[in-house]
Amino acid sequence: MIRFSGRRRTVRRRWMATVRSLPSGAALGALALAVGLVAGCRRDSPAAAPKEVPTQQSVAAVAPKASIVVPAAVAAARAERDPRLRSRRLGQALEEWFRSEPEAVLAYVRALPRGSEQTEAWLLVLGWLGRSDPDRALAVAAEVETRGLSPFYAALFAQLAAQDSAGAVARLSRVPAGPERAQAIRATMDAWARRDPSAALAWARALSNDSESGVAVETGLVALAAADPDRAVAQAREWLGGPAFERVVGQAFQVLLTADASRAAALVASLPAGETRTLATVQAARALAIQDPARAVAWISALPAGDDTKAALPALIEAWGRRDPAAAAAQLATLPDHPGRAAAGDRLAQVWGATEPAAAIAWAGRLPDATARDSALVAIASAWAQREPRAAATWAAGLEADAEVRNRALAGAVDYWLLQDRAGVQEFVAGLPAATQTVAAAAIAPGLAQRDPPAALTWAQSLSSTAGREAAVVAAYARWRDNAPAAAAAWLAQSGLPAELKERLRAAPAR
């Protein structure tokens, strides 16, 4: 696993964006370097002593003495004003030039003004040079005054370690200490530990620099976790602590989750309280529910009270509900006091309502708790509307429940209907009685105004009920004003709306 330090991510993203935009041949070559994939390079020397690497000539010593003739394509690329086109075209032009005159390109890039463009150019040029002559690339990089070359070092050492781990290790001393060397170490360990974890980890633990040793050990254990998660966790407990330990356990957990959910669940207790453990608990609950729902319930029930179990129950019930909603509902009924009960009920209503709305409605109607019942009905309306919006909206509009519950259910249904059939939902809302038209019109008006504000306001003013008209006009105008205040104000000034309503629209606070 190769990680980029936070303060260099911007340059790395720009570099990768440039690489992605190159012609197919250039892009494939650059991406091969970026991930350290070199076709047919699987040679390795297990735990061999570091090799002596020849010292390279300085760049100045081999730079062309004659003045550089810059190709027209390079000059044209640098004249481009659009930043994306400029970056892409400059990368293409430099690569073409590099094929025939690499030394001229090196001298040209060195002479570029300091800044992001020069850094991006160095990343590309050093990458091309590194594929054929890694030692020369390291020598050039050592003389480059700009920072931000971590992506180059990461890619180069991934390539080197894929060929010869000992050779990669021998070259690490040529990388500047700090983020650049940390990335090179990560790349080396990621490749080496996948083939010979014992040798790689022994080297990592023997490093005299504690920071570099920590980076190397963590990377090696993360790589080991893919093949032997139990060993990776055991050694992480012995050698690591804090966030590094969590990351190794997290990687091992993900590997086990697909192979053996029970073993993955057992790892959760190894993590300290916090977001990482809560997320792992949720994932384990979901995976266990797919394999053995009863076992998943037993596992969750044994967890200490807190955020983990509160978040895990909804995930369990949702996964179970997709396979057997009636059984999931029966189990949920046995947990009336569980802290995750309310959210779990909503999840079940969503998955059941999407596939069997009639059965879900019947279940919701039998719930003894009024709050849970109302929440389930609202969730069913939205889930049902994603598949059959007209049927869901019609049901919600006639729902015999508290007015607030009916309104929430109807608003959710028409919102989803709007995404599928604008004309159909407009016609439906226009035909509703005043009591429900107001809510439904206000729900869809912002979405209508997002695409065509004048048309949305024309439709709003055509509604039959006064309350419905005003609610739709207010909602549509607010969205238009948020998006284009000048255009909205101009429309309002010349509209035929009542003066009182105009004043209310002008005075309404921005959303």
List, for residues 239-262, the tens digit of each pLDDT value: 999 999 999 999 999 999 988 999
Give residue 305's pLDDT.
85
On whether residue 211 sits in a domain, the answer given is no
Give residue 401's pLDDT.
83
Distance spanning both ends of the chain, measured CA to CA = 44
Q: Give Cβ neighbours of residue 89 (< 8 Å, ≥ 6 apart).
A: 73, 76, 77, 80
State the residue range of the domain holding 30. 1-39+59-181
User: pLDDT tens-digit profile of 455-465?
Assistant: 999 999 999 99
On whether residue 244 sits in a domain, the answer given is no
Secondary structure percentages of the chain, helix, strand, coil, to 5: 75, 0, 25
19, 27 Cβ separation under 8 angstroms: yes
Cα–Cα distance between 453 and 474 in angstroms, integer?
12
Cα–Cα distance between 9 and 445 in angstroms, integer?
41
Cα–Cα distance between 100 and 391 in angstroms, integer?
68
On whether residue 433 sits in a domain, the answer given is no
On whether residue 379 sits in a domain, the answer given is no
C-alpha distances (whole Å) from 278 to each of 120, 229, 236, 282, 309 are 39, 20, 20, 6, 8
On whether residue 483 sits in a domain, the answer given is no
Cα–Cα distance between 306 and 309 in angstroms, integer?
6
Cα–Cα distance between 411 and 61 in angstroms, integer?
74
Report how many domains make up the chain.
1
367, 394 Cβ separation under 8 angstroms: no
On whether residue 21 sits in a domain, the answer given is yes
Give residue 511's pLDDT.
65
Burial class for 262, CB neighbours closer than 10 Å (0-12, 13-18, 19+): middle
On whether residue 131 sits in a domain, the answer given is yes
> Whose structure tokens read 């790892």?
267
**Which residue, 241, 228, 178, 175, is CA-closest to 198?**
228
- Residues lower than pLDDT 70 in the chain: 1-66, 511
Give residue 18's pLDDT.
40
Compute φ and ψ for 49, nearest 5 degrees: -70, 145
On whether residue 13 sits in a domain, the answer given is yes
255, 229 Cβ separation under 8 angstroms: yes
